[in-house]
C-alpha cells in the first residue's frame, strides 16, 4: 500500500496527523524523527513525509532534528508548526521567537491558493500553538499565507515539493484543515486509497494470533467501547482462551455493574466480576493528588489482574488502551506528560504479565468504526466516554463514599436531561465534577454551606481537541435545578466553558 510517514518531534497532535491521513483511505505510520535518510528511503511504499509539531525551539541544544539529506529526496515533504520552522531553519531560512505567542484560533490570509492551499479559500480561522516564527524563507521558497503575528504562516517550494504551515491543519478547530492534508496526500503525493476498517480488523486479528500463540489471556473489561472492541477482536483471534475481568471499583457510573452483567453475559464471554470497592477506597484514603490517584488505581487494577492470571494460568494482559491515552501519558521521547492514564502511566513497571494493546495506535472514532465492523451492539458503540480511573478523577480532593455518591448522582442527572434533547447525538462527554470547596447558599429560607458541582459537556472528534457544548440556558437551568433539589449536599452548579486545549477533557 502507498504510505505517508510522519516524523515524530513530540507534538501532542503527532498521531492525529496519521489519523487524518487514514481518513482519506491511505496508510500512515508514525516513526522516530532521527531515522536515517538511507533507512527511510529504503521503503519504496513511502509517497510522502510529514514533519510533526513539537514543544521545543529549533535553536535549543537538545531540540529534536532529522536527517537533512531527506530534504534532498524527491519525496514531497510537509512541515507542521515545529516541522515548518525546522525545514526553514535547516534549508537556510531564519526562525525567531515571536514578540507574542499565537495560541488558539487565528485568521489566516491566503496569498497563493495553489497546491498545498488549493481549494482552501482566501481566509480561514486556523489553530495556532507556538511562539517561534519563521521570519526569513530559504531560497526557492515563497510565502503563501500569513496571520497578524506570523507573516510567513505557510510557504511552498514547488520545485522540490517541500511545504510548511505554522498552524495545525490536523486539529478539528482549523476550518477546512482536512483540505490541506488531502491536497498533500492525494494531489501532491498521488497516494492511492487502500486503508479500511475491514482491513484494520483483519490485520489486528492476525497480529493477535501471532503475538499470543497458545497462551491464555485476561482482558480488563470496563464496558466502554475501547475495552469491548479489544475483547471482540481478541476473542475472534483466540476464542475461549480469553478471560474478561470487570473490576467493580466503587468508582463506576450509576448501575454500571448491572449493565456489564446484562450486556456481556449474553455474549458467550468468559466473564469474571470482581467486587473490589473496599480495596480501592482504602488505598485512596487521604489522597488528593491527581497523579497519585491515577497511579494507585493503576497499581490496584494490575494487582487484581495478576491475582486472577495466577489462578487461570494466563500470561497476557489485554487492555483497550487507545492512542490518546498514551500520548497524554508521555508516550514518545519528546512528548510532554499531561497526566498518567491508569492503563498507561499508572501501571507499575514490574507488571509481572506480558502486556498487549491491540488498539494502541487508533483513535476513538476509529475504534467506534471497528465496533460496527465487528457487529457490537449499539449500547456499546455509542456509549459516552468514561475515564479508566472512574469517578476518582471527577472529585477534586480526597475520595470518600459520600463524595462518590454525590458526583455519581449528579452525572446521572446530567445524562438523563441531555438524552431527551437534540444535542445528545453530538456530545462526546457529559459529566459532573465535585469541587473540594464549599459555598454559601439559601435553601428553605435558611443559610446553607454545601458543595458546588461543575457541569462539563464537550464535543470532540478524536479526544485530542474538544469544544465545550453550546447547550441552551434553559437545559442547563433544568440540570442545575434538579441537582440542587435532588442532591442534599449541593447548593451551587456552574458550567465549564473551556475548550481543549487549554483544558483537558477531565479536570484531573
Confidence at residue 194, expressed as pLDDT on a 0 to 100 scale:
87
pLDDT tens digits, residue range 60-103? 888 899 999 999 999 999 999 999 999 999 999 999 986 667 78
Percent of the chain past pLDDT 90, that is, above it, reads: 67
Which pLDDT does position 345 carry in this prediction?
45
Residue 121 vs residues 113, 182, 380: alpha-carbon distances, Å = 7, 14, 39
Task: Write out the catalytic residue numbers.
Answer: 81, 168, 170
Could you report the per-residue pLDDT of 107-136, keeping only the tens digit for each? 999 998 889 999 998 899 999 888 899 999
Kindly state the DSSP code that residue 1 receives in the 8-state scheme. -
* Amino acid 1: pLDDT: 81
Whether 178 and 25 have beta carbons less than 8 Å apart is answered as: no
- Contact in structure between 291 and 444 (CB atoms under 8 Å): no
Specify whether the CB–CB gap between 304 and 353 falls below 8 A. no
Rounded to the nearest integer, the mean pLDDT of the chain is 90
Residue 216 in contact with residue 234, Cβ under 8 Å?
Answer: no
| pLDDT greater than 70 at residue 266 | no
For residues 338 and 335, give the distance between their C-alpha atoms in angstroms, rounded to a whole number. Answer: 9
pTM, whole model, 2 decimals? 0.72
More confident residue, 463 or 199: 199
CA proximity to 398, closest of 493, 505, 508: 508
pLDDT attached to residue 103: 80
d(CA 358, CA 367): 11
State the Cα–Cα distance between residues 359 and 231, nearest whole angstrom: 11
The mean per-residue pLDDT over the stretch 430-444 comes to 95
Q: Which domains does the chain have, with CATH numbers?
A: 3-188 (3.40.50.880), 197-381 (3.40.50.620), 395-495 (3.30.300.10)
Query: Which of 82, 42, 85, 78 minimizes the C-alpha distance to 160?
Result: 78
Going by C-alpha positions, the residue among 160, 152, 154, 156 that lies closest to residue 136 is 152
The closest of 435, 417, 424 to 482, measured between CA atoms, is: 417
In degrees rounded to 5, what are phi and psi of residue 41?
Answer: -75, -5
Per residue in 296-355, pLDDT (tens digit) is 998 999 899 999 999 999 999 999 988 777 765 455 555 454 444 444 445 667 777 889
Query: For the residues of 295-356, what is the DSSP string, one character each?
Result: HHHHHHHHHHHHHHHHHHT--EEE----HHHHHHB--STT--B----TTTTTS-S--SSEEE
Which of 224, 65, 190 has its CA nearest to residue 115? 190
Amino acid at each position: 500500500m502507498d504510505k505517508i510517514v510522519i516524523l515524530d518531534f513530540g507534538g501532542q497532535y503527532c498521531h492525529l496527523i496519521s489519523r487524518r491521513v487514514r481518513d482519506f483511505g491511505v496508510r500512515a505510520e508514525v516513526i522516530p524523527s532521527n531515522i536515517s535518510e538511507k533507512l527511510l528511503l529504503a521503503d519504496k511504499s513511502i509517497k510522502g513525509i510529514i514533519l510533526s509539531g513539537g514543544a521545543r525551539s529549533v535553536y535549543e541544544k537538545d531540540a529534536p532534528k532529522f536527517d537533512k539529506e531527506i530534504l534532498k529526496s524527491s519525496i514531497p515533504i510537509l512541515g507542521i508548526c515545529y516541522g515548518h520552522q525546522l525545514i526553514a531553519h535547516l534549508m537556510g531560512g531564519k526562525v525567531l521567537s515571536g514578540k507574542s505567542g499565537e495560541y488558539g484560533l487565528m485568521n489566516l490570509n491566503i496569498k497563493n491558493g495553489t497546491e498545498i492551499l488549493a481549494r482552501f479559500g482566501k481566509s480561514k480561522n486556523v489553530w495556532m500553538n507556538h511562539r517561534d516564527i519563521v521570519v526569513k524563507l530559504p531560497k526557492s521558497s515563497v510565502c503563501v499565507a500569513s496571520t497578524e503575528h506570523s507573516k510567513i504562516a505557510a510557504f511552498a517550494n514547488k520545485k522540490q515539493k517541500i511545504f510548511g504551515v505554522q498552524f495545525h491543519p490536523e486539529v478539528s478547530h482549523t476550518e477546512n484543515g482536512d483540505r490541506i492534508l488531502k491536497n498533500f496526500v492525494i494531489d501532491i503525493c498521488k497516494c492511492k486509497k487502500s486503508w479500511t476498517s475491514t482491513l484494520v480488523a483483519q490485520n489486528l486479528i492476525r497480529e493477535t494470533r501471532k503475538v499470543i500463540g497458545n497462551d491464555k489471556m485476561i482482558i480488563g473489561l470496563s464496558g466502554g467501547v475501547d475495552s469491548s472492541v479489544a475483547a471482540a477482536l481478541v476473542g475472534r483471534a483466540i476464542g475461549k482462551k480469553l478471560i474478561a475481568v470487570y473490576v467493580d471499583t466503587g468508582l463506576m457510573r450509576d448501575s454500571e455493574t448491572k449493565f456489564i452483567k446484562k450486556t456481556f453475559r449474553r455474549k458467550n464471554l468468559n466473564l469474571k466480576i470482581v467486587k473490589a470497592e473496599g480495596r480501592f477506597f482504602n488505598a485512596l484514603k487521604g489522597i488528593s493528588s491527581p497523579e497519585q490517584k491515577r497511579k494507585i488505581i493503576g497499581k490496584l487494577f494490575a494487582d487484581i489482574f495478576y491475582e486472577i492470571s495466577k489462578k487461570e494460568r494466563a500470561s497476557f494482559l489485554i487492555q483497550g488502551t487507545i492512542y490518546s491515552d498514551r500520548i497524554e501519558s508521555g508516550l514518545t521521547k519528546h512528548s510532554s506528560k499531561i497526566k498518567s492514564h491508569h492503563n498507561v502511566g499508572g501501571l507499575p513497571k514490574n507488571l509481572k504479565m506480558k502486556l498487549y494493546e491491540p488498539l494502541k495506535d487508533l483513535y476513538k472514532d476509529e475504534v467506534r468504526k471497528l465496533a460496527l465492523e465487528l457487529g457490537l451492539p449499539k449500547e456499546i458503540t455509542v456509549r459516552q466516554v468514561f475515564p479508566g480511573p472512574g469517578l476518582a478523577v471527577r472529585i477534586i480532593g480526597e475520595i470518600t463514599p459520600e463524595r462518590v455518591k454525590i458526583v455519581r448522582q449528579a452525572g446521572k442527572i446530567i445524562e438523563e436531561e441531555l438524552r431527551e434533547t437534540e444535542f445528545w447525538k453530538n456530545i462526546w462527554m457529559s459529566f459532573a465534577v465535585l469541587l473540594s470547596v464549599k459555598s454559601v447558599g439559601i435553601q428553605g429560607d435558611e443559610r446553607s454551606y454545601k458543595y458546588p458541582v461543575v457541569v462539563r459537556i464537550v464535543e470532540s472528534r478524536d479526544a485530542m481537541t474538544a469544544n465545550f457544548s453550546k447547550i441552551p440556558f434553559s437545559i442547563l437551568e433544568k440540570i442545575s435545578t434538579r441537582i440542587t433539589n435532588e442532591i442534599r449536599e449541593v447548593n451551587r452548579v456552574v458550567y465549564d466553558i473551556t475548550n481543549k486545549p487549554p483544558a483537558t477533557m477531565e479536570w484531573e
